[in-house]
Amino acid sequence: MDTRLLIENVLIPAIKVGVVLGVMSGAIAYTTLLERKVLGFIQLRLAPRRVGFHGILQPIADGIKLLLKEDIIPDRADRALFILAPVISVIPAFAALAVIPFAGHSFEMFGHKITPWITDVNIGILYILSISSLGVYGIMLGGWASNSKYPLLGSLRSAAQMVSYEVPLGLAIIGPLMMAGTASMTGIVRAQERLGMWFVFPQIVGLFCYFVSGIAETNRLPFDLPEAEAELVAGYQTEYSGMKFAFFYLAEYTNMVVVSAIATTLWLGGWLRPFPNVEALSFLNFLDFISPALSGVFWFAFKVFAVLYLYIWIRGTFPRYRYDQLMNLGWKWLLPISLANVVVTALVLVLKQRAGG
Amino acid sequence: MNGLAALFRRFFLVELFAGMWITIKNHFRPHITIEYPREKPDLAPRFRGVPRLRRDPETAEELCIGCLLCEQICPDDCISIVVDKRPGGKGKMAKSFIIDYERCCFCGLCVDPCPTTPITAIYMSHDYELSDYSRQEFITQRAALVDGHPIKRYEK
């Protein structure tokens, strides 16, 4: 009996953490390839295709290159913080993956019931918000510890930008939270299943605010002011090289994946297929014959990559914002819109309750 | 545009979506990159590569009559010709014909005055892969002018 407890409470979660970290690292590595490919095609270029068939091994080559590169620590940098900063930005990014439900149905394996998420806490979304806002410390410390002007300016910008955009981001999330009546990530998806449609339809404004803020939070184009190469060389990453630089990039792409996963869970129905309550479309869960969890994973991954594609598409389309424009957009547009979204959602919910009860 | 339509366009971010429509269209257009050493670009018929000499396509006889017009017009002085009597026939021919490819500026002026008909003796070829290990190699003798400058490949 004791061994069973040990397996279910220690071994299985450990394996799940390992699987999620491994699969996610691979997915993130291939997100870089996806990005380079899509950007290349948008610009009528070929994109990497020398390493392996159509460049399929490019991420591995990049990884090896970054591992073998000289790892420079500037003379006057704060050594401890300089080394710590990339780690601080990577850990929260990966930690946020802990509460994301990759599929809805648990499955049996070797006589143990396994849930396709690492943990399901009833404050999942709050956990993600609090963990992901720690990522800004990595960037700030990296800029500060480099003891150089461009990184410092870049990290200051980054701090201001991330603090500003966290507000509309948080407010945009409140819409689906109110509609679901729970902050648990699985609970939100189940609420969408009960409602019979994804929250993207009633909450399109919220998704818009969330996505724009999410792009700003992850420092991606068109909001990549912290690393604007025309002005700041490479921002907070200027003094970094080798594996530490790779860690910053890993953090950035992990954050992208996390933002996409949250958008998928909260607005796009998580593991649900399109029109989850229409029986005629149940063939869309075509992986059900193996396991319902597998088709859940398929739809989840499909949606996450669709959102990632949108990310890259936007990067390939829009030029970088000026700094004051960025702040204007955040405080004067996204914040009021997301606030109005919260108020309207609350009003509609209350009115519906009155009408129903 | 009247005010209401402008407001509509601003409110629904029409211009932003128009931009995204352009990029997604580009995504599915064929690429314009040429993977050069493996693929060669399509050259225009009048592309000006290095000037070369040619023989009569039917009789394989030297076309050049040694009139020195190309040598005179060349702005870079890269053509040098020694003229001699044509063996067993009327007129003259070039005893030696040298073009210094290092100095050639690909202007094509040498082709314009060439009097041989119906095709000119000197012509702008489609050769553009010129690289070699020494400057001496670019001083091209007549045999190489007719057969083409040999392309040296890098060998490990």
pLDDT single digits (tens) B116-132: 888 888 888 888 888 88
Is residue A42 less than 8 Å (CB to CB) from chain B? yes
What integer pLDDT is reported at residue A343 of this predicted model?
92
Measured between CB atoms, which of A42, A46, A318 is closest to B26?
A: A42
Measured between CB atoms, which of A38, A46, A318 is closest to B27?
A: A38
What integer pLDDT is reported at residue A187 of this predicted model?
84
Q: Radius of gyration (Cα) for chain A, nearest Å?
A: 21
ipTM confidence? 0.72
- Domains held by chain A: number: 1
Give tens-digit pLDDT for B52-75: 888 888 887 888 888 888 888 999
Averaged pLDDT of chain B: 84
What integer pLDDT is reported at residue A228 of this predicted model?
67
CA distance linking residue A309 with residue A304, whole number of Å: 9
Measured between CB atoms, which of A40, A46, A317 is closest to B23?
A: A317
Give tens-digit pLDDT for A38-85: 888 888 888 888 887 888 888 888 888 888 888 888 888 888 888 888
Pairwise CB contact (< 8 Å): A314 & B20: yes
Find which of B20, B26, B27 to mutate to test the A interface (most A CBs within 10 Å of its CB): B27
E-strand ranges in B10-130 read 51-53, 79-85, 92-100, 122-124
CA distance linking residue A169 with residue B78, whole number of Å: 70
Give tens-digit pLDDT for A177-186: 888 888 888 8
Fold that domain B51-147 belongs to in CATH: Alpha-Beta Plaits (3.30.70)
All residues at 6 or more sequence positions from B136 whose CB lies less than 8 Å from its CB, including other chains: none
* Domain boundaries along the sequence of chain B: 1-30, 51-147
Averaged pLDDT of chain A: 84
What integer pLDDT is reported at residue A99 of this predicted model?
86
Regarding beta strands A112-114 and A107-109, do their DSSP bridges make them parallel or antiparallel, or are they unpaired? antiparallel
Give the nearest chain A residue to B11 (CA atoms). A333
Give tens-digit pLDDT for A197-219: 888 878 888 888 899 888 888 88
pLDDT tops 70 at residue A100? yes
Tokens of B65: 């009559």
Find which of B16, B22, B33 to mutate to test the A interface (most A CBs within 10 Å of its CB): B33
User: Nearest C-alpha of chain B: how many angstroms from A58?
Assistant: 18
CA distance linking residue A6 with residue A28, whole number of Å: 32
pLDDT tops 70 at residue A348? yes
What integer pLDDT is reported at residue A229 of this predicted model?
67
Measured between CB atoms, which of B20, B23, B33 is closest to A46?
A: B33
CA distance linking residue B110 with residue B72, whole number of Å: 9
Q: Which of A205, A190, A12, A207 is nearest to A101 (CA)?
A: A190
